[in-house]
Amino acid sequence: MKIFVFPEVYQGEVKEISFEILGLAQEIKEKTGGDLHVLLAGKGVKEFVPQFGLADKVLLLDNEKLEGVSPFIYQNILFQVLKDRAPELILFGHTSIGMDLAGFVALKLNFPMVAFCKNVKAENGHLMATSLICGGKILADVKIKDNKGVCLVLPGSYPAEKGKVEGTKEVEELSLSEIEEKIKFERFIIPEVEDIDITKENILVAVGRGIQNQENLEVAEELAQVLGGALAASRPVVDQGWLPLTRVVGRSGKSVKPKLYLSLGISGAPEHVEGMKDAGLIIAINTDPNAPIFQTAHYGVVGDIFDIVPALVEEIKARK
Amino acid sequence: MKIIVPIKMVPDLVEELEIDESGKRLDTSFLRFTINEADDHAIEEAVILKEKYGGEVTVIAPDIGEVDDVLYAAAAKGVDRLIKIMGDFEELDSHLYASILTEMIKDMQYDLILTGCEAITDLDGQTGIFLATNLSLPYIGLVSKYKKEDGSLCVNKEFPGGVYGEYKVELPAVLGVMAAEKPPRYVPVAKIRAAMKSAQIEEIDAPEIKVETGIEIEKMYVPEVGKGAEMIEGEPEEVAKKIAEALQNKGLL
Amino acid sequence: MGQAEVQPQDLYEVFQERAYAMVDGEKIRQCLQCGTCSASCPFGEGMDYNTRKMIAAMRGGDFDEILSGHGIWLCTSCYTCTVRCPAKIPLTDIMIPVLRETAMLYEKGVPSELQKALENVARYGNPFGESPRKRINWVKETGVPVKILQKDKKPVNVLLIPECFCAYHQRAKNIIISLAKILHKLNVDFGIIGPDEKCIGDSKRLAGEFGLFEMLIEHNAKQLKKYNFDIIVTPDPHAYNALINEYPKFGYRYKVLHHTQYLSQRLADLEALFQNEFPYKVTYHDPCYLGRRNKVFDAPREILKSINGLKLIEMPRTKEDALCCGGGGGGVWLDSFSKEYIKERPAEKRVKEAVATGAEVLAVACPIDITMFEDAVKVLNLEGKIRVMDISEILLEAIGG
């Protein structure tokens, strides 16, 4: 199978998702035989080539104009690169960047597309994907007809470690043709880091919509304090302005790997789970027995956080 | 500014989702449909842009579920034109919807198309980017800040970690909305009822189009509940004890 | 829709037209600025514009300021101002709700938690945003047969209306469960409508959503028409209030009793069932919409006095002077919102008042009271010192069940 992987490289690094999909691609290639090609495009990305040891070939496009991943330019680059190379499977991360590119590529090449993939594999001569849809509540096993497809893979679906192999096999340098700048990258806006860095905390107490209002944060704060940890949140809590954006765990926030992740009133939609599923110990409390978070947690409680958390605070105080 | 907002109706997750007998589709007997959350933000942002810069907003929606309520609420917010696409929409995947929209929109006048960047049912991909590709328009998604500047729109695109990328987008273009610059406003029921009397919903038949997604669902299922988690039961005090014990055993206290 | 072009003076005209069209609305003009209202208001100290100042501001040309402020959202519709106003201005039923309505119609902002609750009621028939199908989930916890009329359309004697809090809220549902058990022991022929029942809507009216209230009345009246029953009994004072005072304005009249009224009428039969003593000092809190608003003071007390071992003590602010729990008129959703503006919540003040009487149990007759007061007990660290119980729960303990 001829597999193409699109890694995400910006702000001076190769993002984790790139290695996850590389590892996944490698697994498929080991089963089907074939080639694994990587398109490495950006500004100053030449130095990252050795990180793609799994690639049979790295298509390198290092150009000043490619600093900010302008979707318009990248769509065009991808199409130019792929249209004559007869790819069969093209993998993107289901991320802010992947979602700007995959759909374009799929339509232009007339390839089927599958999003929300937790897994992509070759089975009995067919390309199959398993996707997590409807806010994490439904799984679908999908057959990709004609074994040609574009897949958006959810971050956190595959261990990044398996994709991290150093080395360089073949490199083909590409040049950037003139493309109109219909979407011009201006700059990155980085949040002020006055706040703590939740990725450095060992213990996180995360709150979701179940916390109901800003004042109830006290309940979670007390728990965080007594455990020596910090508060984190799912996206909706931050949208309401109850906590700063720097505390968000998930697709629009940070990926965290604390020793302990206590999730309070978080349903566990894929966008959130992708940011915390590698935590050492995950304990989730939610009133909804069908909350998707219970698939990822190690321990789950169906109950009211306002009854359980104060009791837990007391228990912990008693044991210290 | 002439803005078109295509929206999607998706299963309301408040109701429990069940799979039907075929094992390949959602059971529709108790299913209710609601506007895709990101599309709700797209409508809000369109109205905000109209309030700031003048112009006209058109909302397009498929005839699924309680779509009339959605359209009248949009009218109550200030949307000018309401278009309902009529058809037998048992299954409206993004490919088909984008193709239908392309047929309808290609002859319309517009500066900007705003649509939610993603819907919970987007198994086969996202409508916004398909629409942009079909119309040969620039596309950028996960946008949450917007400012008009001459013939372009200055937008902020969300990246992980709270980082934003600032981009200048030449119009006309399609934007995949993550969030409006303000949460969707409240529309009092009286206003919606007034809209029901004064606003017109244009019903347009879906063009005859067949589009293949190229994928086939073999099986649809609900993830096993608690398959991941070991569930702890009991009264709050009992539960608290068990959790505290687990923490102590792992040396986390 | 053109509202962006409306000038502030126009909004005052809009308000006047609307308020004066309602019965007694024009009495707002008779305000003496005596300040009795704002001095009596449980939230007066926290309002930028309290009730007296709202009227002064209207007269002074500052109408718009009222709408952008937070004062109008702090009101929990407790009715104290209305009852005490010498000019008999309908502050609670007209002035505040119409101010809120005007704010919402002209996009002056509504607190987001209240917005969510209203949107949920419009879509799901309950403020929690839970599926209507779950409205009857409490039934299986009763352990007794409860007729669900929309599934089995037979005539009943008593139509029980739990209202949203008793149906969905984790703590409040124990009230309706206890009541159902008691009715069963009394061999009452009773039933509930089922998932088709929606919020009766009183708090939505008070929150300024008259359109939503009318929609709910239309829906509920249509439901009620389908079934055959003699009386409606409800443990929810706001539902009681709407059904006896508001629904008739739309032509829908029913015989309605609050559960304490019904049970006090059945006291003789209840006494025959008593097995246990309830040897505690109990103080009773008059819910705003049972007591002050609808003058039902005696029925709950008769029930409590009939229980062996129970010692009934009155709080200083009793009957018409009871201090609101802070949950009415949308207040239950605005709890954290209001905390920004006042130092101590009324519910906490009230619980302290109860404890000061020496009472071990604070008896209530409203599901919102029970949630507000239990919260206050936790906040004040008084767990174990005082229990908050609905009259039906106390009765059930006396009966043993």
> Which domain-ending residue is among C205, C232, C264?
C264
C137 has a pLDDT exceeding 50: yes
Distances (CA, A) of A138 to A208, B214, B224, C44, C339: 21, 20, 10, 50, 40
Chain C residues near residue A287 by CB distance under 8 angstroms: 170
Residue C116 is assigned to a structural domain of this protein: no
Task: Give tens-digit pLDDT for A195-206.
Answer: 788 988 999 999
Residue A193 is assigned to a structural domain of this protein: no
| Pair A139, A266 in one domain | no
C:309-338 residues touching chain A, CB 8 A cutoff: 335-337
Average pLDDT, chain B: 93
B248 has a pLDDT exceeding 60: yes
| Pair C82, C59 in one domain | yes
Residue C118 is assigned to a structural domain of this protein: no
> Which CATH number does the domain housing residue A125 bear?
3.40.50.620
Residue C39 is assigned to a structural domain of this protein: yes
- Cα separation, C395 vs B29, in Å, equals 42
- Cα separation, C302 vs C284, in Å, equals 11
Is B130 an interface residue toward A (CB < 8 Å)? yes
Confirm if C138 and C169 have CB atoms less than 8 A apart.
Answer: no
* pLDDT on residue C6: 56
Residue B164 has phi, psi (to 5 degrees) of -115, 145
Residue C191 is assigned to a structural domain of this protein: yes
Residue C269 is assigned to a structural domain of this protein: no
For C92, which DSSP code? I
Confirm if C179 and C389 have CB atoms less than 8 A apart.
Answer: no
Task: Give tens-digit pLDDT for C211-249.
Answer: 999 999 999 999 999 999 999 999 999 999 999 999 999
> Which domain-ending residue is among A173, A190, A220?
A173
Neighbours of A (≥3 Cβ pairs closer than 8 A)?
Answer: B, C
For C308, which DSSP code? T
| Pair C44, C149 in one domain | no
- The shortest CB-CB distance from A213 to any of C113, C170, C378 is to C113
| Pair C259, C292 in one domain | no
Residue A127 is assigned to a structural domain of this protein: yes
> Which domain-ending residue is among A111, A138, A173?
A173
Place of tokens 């767990």: C383
Confirm if A60 and A174 have CB atoms less than 8 A apart.
Answer: yes
| Pair A33, A162 in one domain | yes
SS3 A133: strand
Measured over the CA atoms of residue A300, residue A305, residue A308 and residue A311, the dihedral's sign is positive
Task: Give tens-digit pLDDT for B14-63.
Answer: 998 999 999 999 998 889 999 999 999 999 999 999 999 999 999 999 99
B223 has a pLDDT exceeding 90: no
Chain A residues near residue B228 by CB distance under 8 angstroms: 294-298, 300
Average pLDDT, chain A: 92
**What torsion, rounded to 10 degrees, do the Cα atoms A215, A243, C114, C236 define?**
-40
Q: Measuring CA to CA, which residue among A155, A75, A131, A154 is closest to residue B122? A: A131
Task: Show the domain range for C82.
Answer: 3-110
Task: Give tens-digit pLDDT for A156-193.
Answer: 889 999 999 999 999 999 988 888 889 999 999 987 76
B226 has a pLDDT exceeding 80: no
Q: Say if the Cβ atoms of C112 and A240 lie within 8 Å.
A: yes
Is C130 an interface residue toward A (CB < 8 Å)? no
DSSP code per residue over chain B: -EEEEE--EEE-TTSPP-B-TTSSSB--TT--EEE-HHHHHHHHHHHHHHHHH--EEEEEEES-SSHHHHHHHHHHHT--EEEEEES--S---HHHHHHHHHHHHTTS--SEEEEES--TT-TT--HHHHHHHHHT--EEEEEEEEEEETTEEEEEEE-GGG-EEEEEEESSEEEEES--SSPPPP--HHHHHHHHHH--EEEEEPP------SEEEEEEEPPPTTSSSEEP-S-HHHHHHHHHHHHHHTT--
- Cα separation, B50 vs B56, in Å, equals 7
Cβ contacts of residue C381 below 8 Å, gap of 6+?
Answer: none
* pLDDT on residue A244: 85
Task: Quickly list H helices, chain A.
Answer: 16-32, 71-83, 98-109, 217-227, 235-239, 270-273, 293-296, 305-319
Residue A33 is assigned to a structural domain of this protein: yes
- Cα separation, A228 vs B247, in Å, equals 13
Place of tokens 């209207």: C58
| Single-letter code of the amino acid located at A80 | Q
B12 has a pLDDT exceeding 50: yes
| Pair C240, C139 in one domain | yes
* pLDDT on residue A242: 85
Strands C387-390 and B230-231: unpaired
State the angle between helix axes of B189-198 and C210-226 in degrees (0 to 180), rounded to the nearest 10: 80
Chain A residues near residue B117 by CB distance under 8 angstroms: 99
| Pair C89, C10 in one domain | yes
CB atoms within 10 A of CB B196: 16
Residue A42: strand pairing partners: A62
Q: What is the mean pLDDT of residues C94-108?
A: 94
- Cα separation, B238 vs A298, in Å, equals 18
Place of tokens 């997590």: A132
Q: Say if the Cβ atoms of A213 and C378 lie within 8 Å.
A: no
> Which CATH number does the domain housing residue C93 bear?
1.10.1060
Residue A203 is assigned to a structural domain of this protein: yes
> Which CATH number does the domain housing residue C206 bear?
3.40.50.1860
| Pair C220, C165 in one domain | yes
> Which CATH number does the domain housing residue A260 bear?
3.40.50.1220
Name every residue in C having a CB less than 8 A away from some CB of B. 1, 4, 101, 104-105, 107, 110, 112, 115, 118-119, 122-124, 129-131, 133, 209-212, 214-215
A131-167 CB burial, b ≥16 within 10 A, e <16: bbbbbbbbbbbbbbeebbbbbbbbbbbbebeebbbee
> Which domain-ending residue is among C220, C244, C264?
C264
For C94, which DSSP code? I
| First and final C-alpha spacing in chain A | 57
Q: What is the mean pLDDT of residues C66-87?
A: 95
| Pair C36, C167 in one domain | no
Task: Give tens-digit pLDDT for C342-384.
Answer: 889 999 999 999 999 999 999 999 999 999 999 899 888 898 8
Number of Cα atoms under 13 Å in the Cβ half of residue A122: 20
- Cα separation, C148 vs C145, in Å, equals 9
Q: Say if the Cβ atoms of C131 and B193 lie within 8 Å.
A: no
- pLDDT class for B225, splitting at 50, 70, 90? low
| Number of domain units in chain A | 2
Confirm if B38 and B119 have CB atoms less than 8 A apart.
Answer: yes
* pLDDT on residue C113: 84
Cβ contacts of residue C13 below 8 Å, gap of 6+?
Answer: none
Between these two residues, C330 and B211, which has the higher pLDDT value? Answer: B211
ipTM score of complex: 0.91
C319 has a pLDDT exceeding 90: yes
Chain C residues near residue B34 by CB distance under 8 angstroms: 123
| Number of domain units in chain C | 3
Q: What percent of chain C has pLDDT over 70?
A: 98
| Greatest mean pLDDT among B164-168, B209-213, C295-299 | C295-299
Q: What is the mean pLDDT of residues B222-232?
A: 77
| Pair C156, C204 in one domain | yes
Task: Show the domain range for A140.
Answer: 2-173
| Pair A285, A208 in one domain | yes
- Cα separation, A262 vs A253, in Å, equals 17
- Cα separation, B21 vs B182, in Å, equals 42
| Pair A231, A114 in one domain | no
Q: Measuring CA to CA, which residue among B33, B82, B56, B47 is closest to residue B185? A: B47
Residue A192 is assigned to a structural domain of this protein: no
- Cα separation, A288 vs B78, in Å, equals 37
Strands A126-133 and A281-286: unpaired
Residue C37 is assigned to a structural domain of this protein: yes
- Cα separation, C233 vs C241, in Å, equals 12
- The shortest CB-CB distance from C107 to any of B14, B15, B185 is to B185
Q: Measuring CA to CA, which residue among C171, C181, C176 is closest to residue C136? A: C176
| Pair A156, A244 in one domain | no
| Pair C394, C297 in one domain | yes
| Pair A99, A157 in one domain | yes
| Pair A33, A93 in one domain | yes
Token reading at C88: 């008999």
Q: Say if the Cβ atoms of C336 and A310 lie within 8 Å.
A: no
Task: Give tens-digit pLDDT for B140-166.
Answer: 999 988 999 888 999 999 988 778 999
Residue B68 has phi, psi (to 5 degrees) of -60, -45
Best C170, C173, C379, C381 residue to mutate vs chain A (most A CBs within 10 Å): C170
> Which domain-ending residue is among C264, C296, C321?
C264
Q: What is the CATH number of domain B2-205?
A: 3.40.50.620
Q: Where are the domains of chain B?
A: 2-205, 224-253
Residue C245 has phi, psi (to 5 degrees) of -110, -30
For C323, which DSSP code? P
Chain B residues near residue C105 by CB distance under 8 angstroms: 188, 190-191
| Pair C365, C383 in one domain | yes
Residue A15 is assigned to a structural domain of this protein: yes
| Pair A164, A40 in one domain | yes
Residue C176 is assigned to a structural domain of this protein: yes
C72 has a pLDDT exceeding 70: yes
- Cα separation, A278 vs A257, in Å, equals 6
Q: Measuring CA to CA, which residue among B133, B182, B174, B132 is closest to residue B153? A: B174
- Cα separation, A274 vs B160, in Å, equals 11
* pLDDT on residue C2: 44
Chain C residues near residue A215 by CB distance under 8 angstroms: 335-336, 339
Q: Give the global pTM.
A: 0.90
C1 has a pLDDT exceeding 50: no
Residue C117 is assigned to a structural domain of this protein: no
Q: What is the mean pLDDT of residues C22-38?
A: 96
- The shortest CB-CB distance from C4 to any of B51, B191, B192 is to B51
Q: Measuring CA to CA, which residue among C366, C370, C367 is closest to residue C347? A: C370
Cβ contacts of residue C169 below 8 Å, gap of 6+?
Answer: C128, C367, C371
- Cα separation, A140 vs A133, in Å, equals 8
C280 has a pLDDT exceeding 70: yes
Token reading at B69: 């309520």
| Pair A239, A107 in one domain | no
Distances (CA, A) of A69 to A45, A65, A182, A183: 12, 9, 13, 10
Is C112 an interface residue toward A (CB < 8 Å)? yes
Distances (CA, A) of B20 to A135, B23, B220: 19, 6, 9
Q: Measuring CA to CA, which residue among B148, B162, B183, B189 is closest to residue B45? A: B183
